[in-house]
Amino acid sequence: MISEKMQQAFLEQINKELFSEYLYLSMKAYFANLNLAGFVNWMDVQVQEEHAHAMGMFDYVIQRNGKIELFEIEKPQNNWNSPLDVFKAVLAHEEYVTSRINALLDVAESEKDRAAIIFLNWYLKEQVEEEANVGGVLAQLELIGDDKNALLALDKELAQRTYVAPVIG
């Protein structure tokens, strides 16, 4: 059985994961308005991943005989100045999510909840991959600068990204 403190921490993180899904959906719309289908695809994969992350935690709480309570999801930003600004925001957001997963692990450690620690180690590893992935796109966007041809080439590359459902835990 999950402790009340651990359950509450998970419920808060589920909300953050659902906000991430919502934020990336907003970014997807931004790129759709720019007619950058590859960037739209990249964000669509992010939307699906964040949904899977939230549902992984949701299912975990239920599996541990916890009670789910959903909280209001904050309205995300919906406009940026450039694709570069979007990916700067993505990296900052992923770093924030990493800090939240670390805080969740801190609760698990203080509660001596070894099952939660093992479960959350997957999320921590995932965050390392997320930050590296975003950092790679951000570095390319910084190199591109104002080169529209290079932006369109990157757009074609990002169109190749596919969603693979994670095996969480």
- Domain membership of residue 168 (yes or no) is no
CATH number at residue 95: 1.20.1260.10
Burial track 34-54 (b if 16+ CB lie within 10 A, e otherwise): eebebbbbbbbbbbbbbbbbb
Q: What is the mean pLDDT of the chain?
A: 98
- Domain membership of residue 19 (yes or no) is yes
- Domain membership of residue 114 (yes or no) is yes
- Domain membership of residue 137 (yes or no) is yes
Per-residue pLDDT tens digits of the chain, which is 169 residues long: 999 999 999 999 999 999 999 999 999 999 999 999 999 999 999 999 999 999 999 999 999 999 999 999 999 999 999 999 999 999 999 999 999 999 999 999 999 999 999 999 999 999 999 999 999 999 999 999 999 999 999 999 999 999 999 999 7
| Tens digit of each residue's pLDDT (9 = 90 or more) over 91-117 | 999 999 999 999 999 999 999 999 999
- Strand locations in 11-144, DSSP E? none
Domain count of the fold of the chain: 1
Q: Enter the tokens of residue 123.
A: 């999320």
- Domain membership of residue 166 (yes or no) is no
- Domain membership of residue 165 (yes or no) is no
Q: CA-to-CA distance for 35 and 32, rounded, in angstroms?
A: 5
- Domain membership of residue 131 (yes or no) is yes
* Residues whose CB is less than 8 angstroms from the CB of residue 24 and which lie 6 or more positions away in sequence, other chains included: 43, 46, 47, 50, 90
pTM of the predicted structure, to 2 decimals? 0.96
- Domain membership of residue 86 (yes or no) is yes
User: Which residues form the domain of 97?
Assistant: 4-72+79-158
